[in-house]
Structure 1
């Protein structure tokens, strides 16, 4: 019966594919993504195995495990990275493949040498590369590798591939993109050699060809080799799609699958896709490679929807669909798509906070904004309550919805109270900004999830009071009333915001009037106070419309706390649209049509057509004190979660909505 359902729902996506000695049951490939789950010695952890098993159990056809180091410490990347440079790593890797194979998934692993992307602070040595050019602006200067060293590294790839096959992997992938070592030879932005490894396309491809040759000799004729590429590097002076097709002439013979990625370190927003990029926007790259070399290609790039994946396959753009963050967000993506339960899919919103922000720069383990348990999955649903429990949740934003659904899924009787006439909170409002529209997918998912729970009642249009809550006789009250814009007592600010004739606005004013702004705003002057995420949303709305845009920040830099992808996207926007950036600059006074600012002790008045004050958000918990007094001395437990505690990000509220609720129910003896 299951096979019939799969054929009826997205028949191309759920058709098998055989490449050399490997047969995949469907066309979905989990892309290799760093996790920081490994031990400090590069050993595969129990977390790793559980994490990948969950995606295998969820129906993924091929899982390509995150990049693994072939030469340590010289080639290591990330805070904690898997290693395969010694035989001692084989047993744990075998445990992983054995576990995932039992769920029907094929298993691949990505072999990598970081080259100039390694950091001496972690490796204790100068990075190595094709030449002395860094892998990103301001990066460490590497030393060029000799021919003898290159031959040794190619042999390291071969030895690593042999270990991978011994560990049970069905496929090995060679990472030749994303500013890692092989990419540093292929890209003219990092290779200025004048010997046989530099200059023309054939020479720049020579090292990669050596690596492929060593890997093929090691794995034999029955194991497929995937080659991951930055097909279009999307940087000035870098390889274009046409350049990639030219150098692939020298790499085609032994490669079986082309994993068609994009970008380098300076253009990382096109490698780890920014949220405004369309579903499957890179599929033209996969099509071009496929059409020239007649070998399977993997299309990737913000593919969240099963229908988008099906369309790519049906059009012949690719043979395989690469999903990365989408499988972090929902390990059951394949199973749900196969059943036709598309509305149940927790679709990635490409916020890049828990996945990119945690790892790159943050040095923390992988997490997800919309999936509060990427390792345990939905195991919590098996923990049913042992006695009746009534829960009242105040506030139906994403934190409150997660809390309400979690409590209901364990068997509690839940009432969710919302002041507005709709649910979803601030996420729904922010998603009205065109570049943030995917954010709406998360509250939409939560609404659908809540609608399927008979023991969850949602009451909108209720301005909750302690009396209202108490009348429901709760055993647990969860306050999740969210946040409001931070508007400090700056002279003239509150008066100007209240004055309809003034040109001063908050982020909520922008959202509420989003359709009133013309596409062409040439000649209009926009000034934004606040260089955090909220202020940047405003800049990225007006600057592409031609407005003369200025952003002002009191700190020494703009974009504090942004992930690497968002930071790169921000810099691109600022440069492309000539946005004026004033840092170390404080707002002193607001008039209806100007801001008075101070920089280095000097004051300046800046007139505008539109002035936005975006100094972030602050906690909003109007009835919390009332609740604590009303339930003082009673058995009812109280929780304050999400932005109503401290204005942060969606990821913090989602995590609290799941785990604080579960932990509290356990402490109270209900689980």
Structure 2
């Protein structure tokens, strides 16, 4: 019909929409149109196609062109790009659109740093930069930059846990994994608590640090105890895998924020029952994290068997022929870590028919693609029934066994369980406490941060 076929027909619908909007708002009201400057799908519009249509849209009434990219059908969740993509990775599209129009052009694409955005504008690639998810992570990021406090900003981790995945897959309202205020602004307490309490936070992972920061901000006397040499918990391990350096930067900023609010952080300190008796805290927030599971398999205690966290910490050196037990996020990212280290012979064993890391998530898609491209072998429906010095015994069918060799190293990534050994004592002594994060149940950053913040708000 008249809305398809040739160039004029295919552009008719958007042209008529623009013309009607212009008619309704008048000549003095600015109209911005957001377009996919490149659809990044088979037979989709290219940037050359969009260059052809842009002058037509400007003539129809567009005052600003917002040059986005991709569609919901584009691979890798590129429209909400994961952390694998660097800030401004598609700014060239805005530059190409700017070549054919005289109205301002907006670029977009995982921007987190206003100084990078400033440099891109200064070199003439675009007129403006749009920040989306970064506003959810820290709505004060532009103010911080202007006031010389950029080091205090939470940088968006592009994890999509609270924004994209929560909206699309969980049908929930919007959140941010690292900013508990997002989506809860009306519940977020801004005034100090009516009475300051002595609060101990046991554990310095993301949940514990968030709890300490929020409780101190609300005027409580807060001490956080961390058994390790530095706070951060499992996130410090995540920061060691490819592309996730920003996770470590977030922990640094969160730790500094907790200290700025008045929390005292004590590292290399295990909390025991005697300490609690002597310290007499009013409330305890138990954020002691999780410990890795160790499956009951013959040979599990052989010297070439280790936990994934030992590999990521650098405590165990990688070798050439590696088998990882478990294809969850820890197992997959450990394989990615080894791939980056140059290890070629990597196998991932999974008892289920598929990995729990979904390719429907943007990071999951990129991770699967990267590992398969590198030649990492996946063995699904495979149960390890024995570990030998240079091989594994597998059961792939009820009546079928297989020996996998050579195997120089076996890495365990079969999940974790909450480390909540103090909970029974706290119950017996009637000491008020909150159990949060992985200590309650191993999950994601978003749950740990949410529970840490809510524990602090409810003190």
Tell me the TM-score normalized by structure 2: 0.89
1:217–1:564 CA distance, 2 compared to 1 (3 A): farther
For residue 534 of structure 1, the aligned residue among 305, 316, 330 is 330
Distance in structure 1 (CA, Å) of the matches to 2:182 and 2:287: 23
Q: Shift of residue 243 of structure 1?
A: 4.0
5+ unaligned residues in a row in structure 2: which ranges? none
Partner of 1:293: helix, strand, or coil? coil
Q: Distance in 1 between matches of 2:395 and 2:75?
A: 34
Which residue is equivalent to 1:330? Answer: 138
Partner Cα distance (1:231, 1:551) in 2: 39
Please name the residue that 2:179 is paired with: 371
**Offset at residue 323 of structure 1 (A):** 1.1
Q: CA, structure 1 residues 529+406, in 2 after alignment: closer, same or farther (shift >3 Å)?
A: same
Contact 1:480 1:641 in 2 (8 A): yes
1:200-224 per-position Cα deviation (integer Å, ceiling 9, x unaligned): 6665444433433343344332233
Verify the 8 A CA contact 1:505 1:613 in the aligned structure 2. yes
CA shift for structure 1 position 376: 3.8
Q: Does 1:310 align with 2:118?
A: yes
The equivalences for 1:440-479 within 5 A come to 440-454=248-262, 456-479=263-286
Which residue does the alignment assign to 2:88? 280
For structure 1, the residue ranges without an aligned partner over 5 or more in a row are: 1-145, 151-196, 666-671
2: CA distance, partners of 1:558 / 1:604: 21
Q: Residue 408 of structure 1 aligns to a residue in which SS? A: helix
1:439 match: 247
Match of 2:414 among 612, 615, 638: 615
1:637-648 equivalent positions in 2, closer than 5 A: 637-648=432-443
Higher relative contact order (CA 8 A, sep 6+): 2
Contact 1:260-1:299 within 8 A present in 2 as well: yes
Alpha-carbon distance between aligned partners in 2 of 1:336 and 1:655, rounded to the nearest angstrom = 24
In structure 2, the partner of 1:171 is: none
Question: Following TM superposition, by how much is the alpha carbon of 1:381 offset from its aligned partner in structure 2, in angstroms?
Answer: 4.7
For 1:637 and 1:512, locate their aligned partners in 2 and report how far apart those are by CA, in whole Å. 34
Q: Does 1:419 align with 2:227?
A: yes
Q: Deviations over 1:37-63 (max 9, x none)?
A: xxxxxxxxxxxxxxxxxxxxxxxxxxx
Alignment partner of 1:215 is 2:21: yes
Which whole-Å CA distance do the structure 2 matches of 1:261 and 1:594 have between them? Answer: 50
Q: Is structure 2 residue 312 aligned with structure 1 residue 511?
A: yes
Distance of aligned partners of 1:583 and 1:360 in 2 relative to their CA distance in 1, 3 Å threshold? farther
Q: Describe the shift of the 1:414–1:618 C-alpha distance in structure 2 as closer, same or farther (beyond 3 A).
A: same
**Contact 2:358–2:365 (8 Å) recurs in 1:** no
3-state SS of paired residue (2:32): strand
Identify if the C-alpha distance between structure 1 residues 294 and 572 changes in structure 2 by more than 3 Å, giving closer, same or farther. farther
Provide the rounded CA distance (Å) in 1 between the counterparts of 2:421 and 2:415: 19
Gap change, CA 1:586 and 1:240, over 3 Å in 2: farther
Question: What secondary structure does 1:445 align onto?
Answer: helix
Q: Distance in 1 between matches of 2:186 and 2:215?
A: 13
Q: Is the counterpart of residue 226 in structure 1 residue 29 in structure 2?
A: no
Asked whether the 8 Å contact 1:356–1:564 carries over to 2, the reply is no
- How far does the alpha carbon of each residue in 1:83-104 deviate from its partner, in whole angstroms, 9 at most, with x for none? xxxxxxxxxxxxxxxxxxxxxx
Deviating beyond 4 angstroms after TM superposition, the runs of 4 or more aligned structure 1 residues are 200-204, 378-381, 514-517, 542-546, 560-563
Partner of 1:389: 197
State yes or no: 1:261 paired with 2:60: no
Residue pairs, 1:192-211, within 5 angstroms: 197-198=4-5, 204-211=10-17
Match of 2:401 among 598, 603, 626: 603
Contact 2:200 2:222 in 1 (8 A): yes
With normalisation by structure 1, the TM-score equals 0.62
Which residue does the alignment assign to 1:482? 289
CA distance, structure 2, for counterparts of residue 531 and residue 586 of structure 1: 12
Quickly say closer, same or farther: Cα 1:366–1:435, change in 2 above 3 A.
Answer: same
Note if 1:652 corresponds to 2:447.
yes
Q: Deviations over 1:366-402 (max 9, x none)?
A: 2211111213449745332333411111111111111
Q: Is the 8 A contact 2:81 2:158 kept in 1?
A: yes
Change (3 A) 1:332 1:377: farther
- The answer to whether the Cα contact below 8 Å between 2:144 and 2:150 also exists between their aligned partners in 1 is yes
Cα 1:251/1:382, change in 2 over 3 Å = closer
Q: Any idea what SS the aligned residue of 2:204 has?
A: coil
Q: What displacement does 1:549 show?
A: 4.2
Q: 2:216 aligns with which of 396, 408, 417?
A: 408
Shift of 1:451: 2.2
Question: Aligned-pair distance for 1:412?
Answer: 1.1
Contact 1:279 / 1:302 at 8 angstroms: preserved in 2?
Answer: yes
Distance in 2, Cα, partners of 1:539 & 1:212: 50
Which of residues 353, 356, 359 is equivalent to 1:556? 353
CA 1:485/1:295 → structure 2, altered by over 3 Å: closer, same or farther?
farther
Superposition deviation, residue 529 in structure 1: 2.5
CA contact (8 A) 2:84 2:243 kept: yes
Write out per-residue CA displacement over residues 570-610 of structure 1, whole angstroms, 9 at most, x where no aligned residue.
Answer: 45335544544333332332334333332232222222455
Please tell me the root mean square deviation across aligned C-alpha atoms, in Å. Answer: 2.8
- Do structure 1's residue 547 and structure 2's residue 344 form an aligned pair? yes
Q: Which moved more, 1:217-226 or 1:541-550?
A: 541-550
Matches within 5 A, 1:64-75: none
Query: Quick one: distance in 1 between partners of 2:367 and 2:50?
Result: 27
Aligned residues of 1:417 and 1:458 also touching (Cα < 8 A): yes
